[in-house]
Amino acid sequence: MNSKEINQKEFELALSSNFVFENNPHIGLSISGGPDSMALFLLMKKCIKKLKGKISVFHFNHNLRSESGKEAEILENIVTSFQIDFYKIEWQHDGVVSRVMETSRDERYKRIIELCVKMKIIHLMTAHTYEDNIETYWMRKKRGSSTLGLSSIPKIKILDNVQILRPLLSFRKKRLIATCKAEKIKYFNDPSNSNHKYERVRVRNCLKIKEIKELKKIEKSFEQQKKKNLFIEKKVSKFFTQKLKFYKYGVFELKIEDLKDHPNELKIEILKKILSTCASKDSIPRRDSILTFLNKIEKNSSFTYTLNSCIIKVSNNEMKIYREITNRFKEYQYQLGKGKKILWQKRFEVESTKTNIKIKNINEQNWPNFKSHFSLKKSNLNFLILKTLPLFFVNKKVLIPFLSPKSGLEKYGIKFTFKPMTPLLKKNFF
């Protein structure tokens, strides 16, 4: 039986159900040239007119095959024939001898995200499918991932303030192929997708040869896991909105008794999310590491602990969590021009609307030169927190967010906002 192509209405329903766009959005598409990404291109090409926006297509030529250059050329001709901007990124992989595919994938995301940031594109779409999700779920299950670790590919992921959107996760690959055929658009099959040396390919082939009955069991398990994850995420979100205190200088506070009221699985996911957000990095702390910390809470009422590049201070039945300043953040320095913005230490968005400003980090060496002008006693800040904040130098004036009067920052047109790479909630908690 022939598979039915995806019609525009059901695709638009998938978009509106999962994503929110600004007026006249500029959306990036990461296109490989395979049937999945070409189907995404076709569907978005039509959809963007209704959104009254614009799409730009990014193609990463990994140069791992002799044919890839010619394919990139054909792809460019197809895209530009619809008067759509096409950006080709060439990767020279000289010297990369191990984990080539993983390195290629990481480089692809890095380079495309850099372009998105430069072009002020805040949404980037990729063409991951239902089968990709099943494969990822099965790989993680075999590795013994934790509950939420089994949730597979997220519909939304944020990297450097760019939302990576996966609108095709509910659609099967055969329907994407059917969509390309119905529209008579060319696509390419990458031979590496059949290379048995890659884990994903081995898993894919393993799933293909399983009996229909067994495959249905895996899919059922996957759908059940999604429901379980949704339940846990709702519980975690409820905890954040009702029990968690957040301070705009990037510190989290909660009562230990509020945490103890929950089962271990929920405690782990709560702390995972807080620590990932506070540190503002993609990596999450290991389950075993969090369990070690939770055991320590049971035995000690007052201590300081370091986990996932965060400092956790436990005392008086309370827990404060703030960013640890590691070596990579000790010598931060920027010249920020008028009308420009940066992401300070991957956590704070700094924007200058009126003038040029010089920005430096606070450390043990320079703080004695400035501390007489500021009072930590009148604030909730300690020096460990202070080190996560910047010094602003404007017209021979020195300003520090949350220590300098707010009117001082406003006078010079400085905006300072906590913008972590990994928000706590899908909605803006901050």
C-alpha distances (whole Å) from 57 to each of 1, 11, 78, 273, 402 are: 33, 19, 11, 32, 41
Q: Can you give the pLDDT at residue 196?
A: 45
> Does residue 429 register a pLDDT over 80?
no
Q: Can you give the pLDDT at residue 430?
A: 42
Q: What is the CATH number of the domain that holds 300?
A: 3.30.465.60
> Does residue 102 register a pLDDT over 80?
no
> Does residue 206 register a pLDDT over 70?
no
CB atoms under 10 Å from CB of 34, counted, come to 19
Q: How far apart are CA 402 and CA 400, in angstroms?
A: 6
Q: Can you give the pLDDT at residue 427?
A: 44
Both 57 and 147 in one domain: the answer is yes
Q: 54 CB contacts (<8 Å, ≥6 apart)?
A: 24, 25, 26, 27, 48
Boundary-marking domain end, from 323, 357, 381? 323
pLDDT tens across 246-298, in order?
999 999 999 999 998 888 888 998 998 899 889 887 667 888 899 999 999 98
| Residues 343, 161 contacting (CB under 8 angstroms) | yes
Q: 217 CB contacts (<8 Å, ≥6 apart)?
A: none
Q: How far apart are CA 220 and CA 240, in angstroms?
A: 30
Boundary-marking domain end, from 307, 323, 339? 323
Q: Are strands 318-323 and 310-315 parallel, antiparallel or unpaired?
A: antiparallel
Both 33 and 62 in one domain: the answer is yes
Q: 16 CB contacts (<8 Å, ≥6 apart)?
A: none
Confidence band (pLDDT; 50, 70, 90) for 396? confident
Please provide the average confidence, as pLDDT, over all residues in the chain: 83
Both 411 and 286 in one domain: the answer is no
Q: What is the CATH number of the domain that holds 178?
A: 3.40.50.620
**Overall average pLDDT of the 400-424 stretch:** 87
Position 227 in a domain? no
Both 52 and 199 in one domain: the answer is yes
Boundary-marking domain end, from 263, 292, 323? 323
Position 313 in a domain? yes
Position 226 in a domain? no
> Does residue 124 register a pLDDT over 60?
yes
Q: How far apart are CA 148 and CA 341, in angstroms?
A: 34
pLDDT tens across 342-370, in order?
888 888 889 999 999 999 988 888 899 98
Q: Please give the model's pTM, rounded to 2 decimal places.
A: 0.60
Q: How many alpha carbons fall within 13 Å on the CB side of residue 369?
A: 7
Q: What is the DSSP letter of 384?
A: H
Position 423 in a domain? no
pLDDT tens across 53-88, in order?
999 999 998 877 778 889 999 999 999 999 999 999
Both 176 and 197 in one domain: the answer is yes
Both 267 and 389 in one domain: the answer is no
Both 342 and 246 in one domain: the answer is no
Both 290 and 335 in one domain: the answer is no
Position 144 in a domain? yes
Domain count, the chain: 3
Q: Which two tokens stand for residue 291?
A: 């369990």
> Does residue 145 register a pLDDT over 50?
yes
Q: Please tell me the least confidently modeled range out of 44-58, 172-186, 225-239, 253-267.
A: 225-239
Q: How far apart are CA 278 and CA 280, in angstroms?
A: 5
Confidence band (pLDDT; 50, 70, 90) for 11? very high
Grouping H, G, I as helix, E, B as strand and the rest as coil, residue 400 is coil
**Overall average pLDDT of the 153-182 stretch:** 87
Both 197 and 114 in one domain: the answer is yes
Q: How far apart are CA 418 and CA 345, in angstroms?
A: 11
Position 36 in a domain? yes
Both 273 and 353 in one domain: the answer is no
> Does residue 389 register a pLDDT over 80?
yes
Confidence band (pLDDT; 50, 70, 90) for 152? low
Query: φ and ψ at 192, to 5 degrees?
Result: -65, -20
Position 425 in a domain? no
Both 250 and 384 in one domain: the answer is no
C-alpha distances (whole Å) from 358 to each of 343, 347, 355, 416 are: 14, 18, 10, 14
Both 57 and 100 in one domain: the answer is yes
Domain that holds residue 409: 330-418
Q: How far apart are CA 346 and CA 139, in angstroms?
A: 30
Distance of CA 90 to the CA centre of its chain: 24
Grouping H, G, I as helix, E, B as strand and the rest as coil, residue 317 is coil
Q: Can you give the pLDDT at residue 176?
A: 93
Confidence band (pLDDT; 50, 70, 90) for 415? very high
**Overall average pLDDT of the 215-223 stretch:** 64
Position 136 in a domain? yes
**Percent of the chain residues past pLDDT 70, beyond the cut:** 81
